Amino acid sequence: MKLATFEVDTPVGPIERIGAAVEATGSDDAGAGDATLVDLTAAYGAALAAEGEPAPADLARAHVPPEMIAFLERGDRAIADARDALEYAAETGTERGPDGAKLRYEPGEYRLCAPLPRPNSLRDCMAIEEHVRNSMDGEIADVWYDFPVYYKGNPDSVVAPGETIQWPDYSGIMDYELEIAAVIGERGRNIPAEAAEEHIAGYTVFNDFSARDIQGEEMEGRLGPAKGKDFANGLGPYLVPRESIDVLSAPMTARVDGEVWSEGTVDEMYHSFAEIIEHVSQSETLYPGDVIGSGTVGEGCGLELGQWLEDGSTVELAVEGIGTLAHTVVE
């Protein structure tokens, strides 16, 4: 199951909904908005109505909220109810839910958003040794091996799949980063590594675009990154529940204007997601909707390859089992 946040037009203005991608058009090579989506809230309501439940629309919004963070706050129960809703829609072919809500949206009938258009928080680690070694001229500080280091990004700068990114005018060196992000689904504090997996709702593709020139300058002051990262964070196209993907072995590819630049897997992580969650949650509470990046795979960015994105470049990050996240950058 691939979960999506999407936007549709209504007589009272655009609204966001939670959906699941279905049929062949929802393949890993599909671009933003190329899949048929089932509105999971409407589908669950239709299933309740068929069973004769009173107030099915209200009950559906409680079981399968149409907003991603509220959905995640219900934990595994929401995932199970979403699966039931998707199964009902597939088996019955029902077209309308309670109050006439539409169950299916075809490409062109919706706008795909990031799965979490505004995460609760955004952290990005640097957990893959090859990337660190390549980026630091072969010198890795001992502390990097001691515990997972990370920075906190800007959750208000998430960009939708397919969105064109206006590069900030203070930067002339444009770069991408090939990553996977874990999305927290269960609140927790002081979480031991052996229990961390149950706190992960699922995974998505992550591209923390990097203004390499300003990033290099500001980090000479031993703080940051800040302006080098905070202008654009790509998430999507889908959020895949943790039990639906073997995230460690999922092949990852970055293509720039159709040419393969990077390949890898997060099986290369020195610190696992479980270890990262244990570290981050020490005396700090994690909440549903928190996003934690894996860090870039080895040779997963232009900095390591000695080449940069250009004005008009389209970068596509593909992770098998999740999908392809594409953006075009312009000066």
Q: 180 by DSSP, 3-state: which?
A: strand
**Alpha-carbon gap, residue 250 to 204, rounded angstroms:** 12
Residue indicated by tokens 């072969």: 138
- Which residue type occupies 322? I
| Mean pLDDT, range 236-262, rounded to an integer | 97
**pLDDT confidence of residue 122:** 98
* 222 or 303: which leads in pLDDT: 303
Residue 24, pLDDT above cutoff 50: no
Output the pLDDT for position 153. 96
Tokens of 60: 């559906």
- Those residues whose C-beta lies under 8 Å from the C-beta of residue 185, and which sit 6 or more positions away, are 72, 75, 76, 199, 200, 201, 202, 288
pLDDT in tens, 3-20: 999 999 988 999 999 999
* CA gap 252, 238 in Å, rounded: 15
**Residue 328 · residue 34 · CB < 8 Å:** no
Mean pLDDT for 218-227 is 91
The answer, yes or no, to whether residue 315 has pLDDT greater than 70, is yes
DSSP, collapsed to helix, strand or coil, labels residue 205 as: strand
| pLDDT band (50, 70, 90) for residue 233 | very high
Instruction: Calculate mean pLDDT across residues 187-201.
Output: 98
Local confidence band at 26 (pLDDT 50, 70, 90 cut-offs) = very low
Residue 54 confidence class, pLDDT cut points 50, 70, 90: very high
pTM: 0.95
Identify the DSSP state of 245: -
What is the rounded CA–CA span in Å between residue 72 and residue 118?
Answer: 13
**Across 83-90, average pLDDT:** 96
What is the DSSP track for 122-162?
Answer: EEEE--BHHHHHHHTTT---HHHHHS--EEE--GGGEE-TT
User: 17, exposed or middle or buried, with CB in 10 Å at 0-12, 13-18, 19+?
Assistant: buried
Residue 304 CA to residue 306 CA, distance in Å, equals: 6
Domain 121-330 has CATH 3.90.850.10: yes
Tens of pLDDT, residues 266-280: 999 999 999 999 999
Average pLDDT, stretch 227-235? Answer: 97
Please tell me which residue, 107 or 222, carries the higher pLDDT value: 107
- In the chain, where the domains are located: 3-112, 121-330
> Over 60: is that where the pLDDT of 30 sits?
no
pLDDT at 32 over 70: no
Which range, of 29-33, 248-252, 258-262, averages the lowest pLDDT?
Answer: 29-33
